[in-house]
Amino acid sequence: MQINDVSAIVTGAASGLGNATAAALAARGARVFGLDLDIADAPSIANVEYVKTDVTSEAEVRRAVSLAAEQGPLRIVVNCAGIGPSARILGRNGVHDLGLYRKIIEVNLIGTFTVLALASEAIAQTETLEHDQRGVVINTASVAAYEGQVGQVAYSSSKGGVVGLTLPAARDLAQYGIRVNTIAPGIVETPMLATVSEDFRAGLASGVPFPQRLGRAEEYARLVTMLVEHDYLNGETIRMDGALRMAPR
């Protein structure tokens, strides 16, 4: 499927993976609608319109989807929005905050599903292309879905859920010509990591077999564009991690 001259939605688009993805899709001719909870400091990118959106709000997501579809056809959706606070089940301050666990699941898993479902409803109404295809949804999981570390029980649960929904979602939406894939990144340089020391980042990179460095947001974005254009990749979760397998801590 071509990227040029279609509408695309990218969540978490104000920074990190989402921002790199929005820029990559816009550079290839898509009209990108960048959804994020805080868009005040989002960098200006040609052909990217930021839309303040809470991905856990059905009303706000519907509004954003309608906006993108009006400039349509809406054919590309990339879910990058997510949060990653850490806490142990039993820690120094007692049991894991149940509200925090619920919040992480709500944003990372339910938010992903909300955008996927409501955007798919709009994509299903577009004109079919070659082989009856209409569009593609790409979700973001994490290697923590497979090898969650100490303190990642909530985050790993949420990302494991994203991996788990990928194949049945692809099967559900096949009749509408919509593909669903997921990317599971390893340790990627994002604004969150910019706050830690070079020594700490070097320590993280040393655990990656090859290439022995942190991943880059631009590499995630490149994989997104490849998944959009590769019409036979469907129902798949692809690790982007340099062969990293996370240790317990």
Mind telling me the catalytic residues? 155
Query: Which of 135, 132, 108, 110 has its CA nearest to residue 121?
Result: 135
What is the DSSP pairing of strand 94-95 with strand 90-91? antiparallel
CA distance 92 to 60: 38
∠ Cα 195 56 154 (to 5°): 55
CA distance 230 to 1: 7
CA distance 108 to 127: 30
Handedness of CA 203, 14, 22, 109 (dihedral sign): positive
Query: Which of 2, 18, 17, 4 has its CA nearest to residue 51?
Result: 18
Lookup: tokens for 29: 């001719």
- Edge-to-edge order in the sheet of strand 31-36: 48-52, 31-36, 7-11, 74-78, 135-140, 178-185, 237-240
199 three-state secondary structure: helix
Q: Which helix (H) or strand (E) holds 83?
A: none
